[in-house]
Structure 1
Amino acid sequence: MSISILNAGAAGGAAEQFGLFNALQQGAPISYIVAGTLTIMLFFSLYIMFTKLFEQQKIMNQAKRVRAGFWNSNSLREGAAKLEKNTAYKQLVDDGLSAQEQHSRLTDPVEAHDWLHGSLRRSEDTINSQLGGGLAFLATVGATAPFIGLFGTVIGIYRALIKIASEGQASIDKVAGPVGEALIMTAFGLVVAVPAVLAYNWLQRRNKSIAEDLNAFSNDVLGYLASNGAVRPTTAARAKAAAPATTAAKPATTTAGQTGGVPVKPGS
């Protein structure tokens, strides 16, 4: 019983001696700078990830509402009035309507289709640029965080070698601190880099899906404006209401051996 208590006490003392903060103290300012840099990178990576997820989900939810009822409106202005302010789909509609009004005031002859298409394309590019904001930081963190951690690792190994040379012996209690610092920095760099890379790839894939939906909606708006409302997507509700009642037409039949309803005599 006493032996186990002594072993537990020794293990607790070793943990306190070679714990995280003691390991960081081995490297003094360099360790704290590296750890602080990685902590800042981790904080901003998580902040960007959650804010972008919220922003993307908001646009995806609006896309569902647009598909459900936007094209059931009598006009684009009526449909735009139903959309939330400062949202991607409302911005596309407003920019399209604004471009249509501006085209009538142009002094040089420009095809209406080209003018509307260019205006809607600029609107799409603006939205996609806003969605991509911050993703470059995630890519940078994913690429550089392991090397920053590796820098701390190199410093820790270097300090361990200096201790070995100064002490003249490589006992575990002499090098455990610097080596522990080195391993902690390596692990910390990976902890920061891996979530950043995963978040970057995931958010990029969601942005691509959103961009495809926005492009399809932009083409629908362009067709509506270029045709003065004659061309619009067919929604399920409108298709059901406009479906004509079909009746099976029975072809006229004649009795075998008869033409025009007059019996034909054999041999005539």
Structure 2
Amino acid sequence: MNRLSTRHWGIRAFAPVALALALVVAPVASGIALAQDAEAPAAEAPADEAPVMTDPAATAEPAAPMEAAPIEDTGMAEVENPYGLKALWEQGDLISKGTLIILVIMSMGTWYIMFTKVWDQAKLFSQAKQVDRDFWKAPSLQEGLDKLDRGNQFRSLIEKGLGAAQHHEGRLTDQIDAPEWIANNLQRESEAIQMRLQGGLAFLATVGSTAPFVGLFGTVWGIYHALIAIGVAGQASIDKVAGPVGEALIMTAIGLAVAVPAVLAYNWLVRRNKAATEIVRNFVIDYGSYLVQSRSATARSH
């Protein structure tokens, strides 16, 4: 009994102590556990995000497409037409280059003649207006002549007719009647003006009629080269015939581009020349009649 009593007394004595330790240790243990649970995600989060933030391979991969794009654009910009005019000149033989040069000369001559003839015709029309405004309204022949510019083509007609009327006597031309002699001199001077107006029109007619055939010759020569390329290669592949056929088509196009403006310019200038010639002819008739009447009046007065 004494031994049991002593054991029960020891348990009772240590029970409060064990309870106190349990109350103290339990919160501490639970706090440690909570702290470990809270630190575990914080430690894992940088581990998961670290490859995205610090891995150089991940940051270098998006830059690769940005650097490749300008390279592709530059390559497309440098592509040239392998069958254009530049290739035609560089790859063509002596005959192809000679044909192209002839067409270029024809085109340059056409445009030069067209602009110069239009300028000459416009100047003649302006001079005709000056004659109507200043010469025919002058009180005398000499005063009307002085009002005209030195470069006026009608002035040469007036001087020519005046010289024929004043210097008819004392020469072999006395056998020709004075009116006929005056008319002949005026006719020759008017024809000289008309010849100057028509200068260059024959070149336009020649270009308009021959330029298509010159281009056709270049076309035939290009097809001939295409047939040679087919014969050498043994097969009609597009890369063998594209160059010569392109050369042939370019020659055809250039020939037409040279011929069409020449034909249009020729027809237009001929029509304007007819109007200018009619103006000169009417002036010659009126002025010749004036000189004949004036000479007759002078002869009657004497």
Q: TM-score range by the shorter chain?
A: 0.7 to 0.9
The residue number in structure 1 matching 2:259 is 193
Partner of 2:236: 170
Partners in 2 of 1:125 and 1:100 — Cα distance?
A: 19
**Equivalent residue in structure 2 for 1:119, among 169, 185, 191:** 185
1:172-251 equivalences in 2 (<5 Å): 172-228=238-294
Alignment partner, residue 46 of structure 1: 111
Q: Contact 2:201–2:266 at 8 Å: present in 1 too?
A: yes
Report if the CA contact (8 A) 2:182-2:288 is conserved: yes
Q: What fraction of aligned residue pairs are identical, expressed as a percent?
A: 50
Partner of residue 96 from structure 2, selected from 20, 27, 31: 31
TM-score (norm 1): 0.79
How much has 1:54 moved relative to structure 2? 0.9
Does structure 2 conserve the Cα–Cα contact (< 8 Å) formed by 1:153 and 1:182?
A: yes
Unmatched 5+ stretches in structure 2: 1-67, 298-302
Q: Which moved more, 1:210-219 or 1:70-79?
A: 70-79
Please identify the structure whose Cα radius of gyration is greater: 2
- Alignment CA distance shift 1:7-1:158 (3 Å): farther
Q: Quick check: 2:83–2:247 contact (8 Å CA) kept in 1?
A: no
Decide which structure has greater helix share: 2
Please report the RMSD computed on the Cα atoms of aligned residues, expressed in angstroms: 2.5
Checking the alignment, whether the CA contact within 8 Å between 1:142 and 1:194 is kept in structure 2 is yes
Which residue, out of 209, 226, 235, partners 1:143?
A: 209
| 1:91 aligned onto 2:161 | no
- State the one-letter code of the partner of 2:140: S
Structure scoring higher RCO (CA < 8 A, sep ≥ 6) equals 1
The amino acid across from 1:36 in the alignment is I
The alpha-carbon distance between structure 1 residues 212 and 69, as it changes in their structure 2 partners (threshold 3 A), is: same
Query: Contact conserved, 2:165 with 2:295, CA < 8 A, in 1?
Result: no
State the TM-score, normalized to the length of structure 2.
Answer: 0.70
How far the C-alpha of 1:24 sits from its partner, in A, is: 3.4
Q: How many pairs were matched up?
A: 229
